[in-house]
Amino acid sequence: GAGVSQSPSNKVTEKGKDVELRCDPISGHTALYWYRQRLGQGLEFLIYFQGNSAPDKSGLPSDRFSAERTGESVSTLTIQRTQQEDSAVYLCASSLSAATDTQYFGPGTRLTVL
């Protein structure tokens, strides 16, 4: 079946602009995760959603970052007033549920802030 998809695959924006990144999880997966990966670095947890529970936002680096998820489907990660340090690959992953451990990753969105 279809895997996790993310769009756009690449995004170049100017400092100060807002950007919206989209993630389509695998159908039926109730858990959805967002990570940030700077060049040559590991993955930095940002936020996760599990069903209709309140999301765990503890990894969001500042109030410029927010994310939403509609039910158990699409999620959007919004970065307001982008800064150059926001440049990174943003990865989305989904799993059957948060308790089932194995995460399936999308290809990521490479964000470049000029």
Residues that bind another protein (CB under 8 A): 4, 31, 33, 35, 37, 39, 41-45, 48, 50, 56, 58-59, 89, 91, 93, 98-99, 101-108
Q: CA 68, 60, 80: angle at the middle one, nearest 5?
A: 65
Select from 6, 3, 50 the least CA-distant residue to 26: 3
Q: Which is nearer to another protein, 35 or 65 (CB)?
A: 35
Least distance to another protein, CB of residue 47, Å: 9
Give the end-to-end CA distance of the chain in Å, rounded to a whole number.
37
Least distance to another protein, CB of residue 81, Å: 26
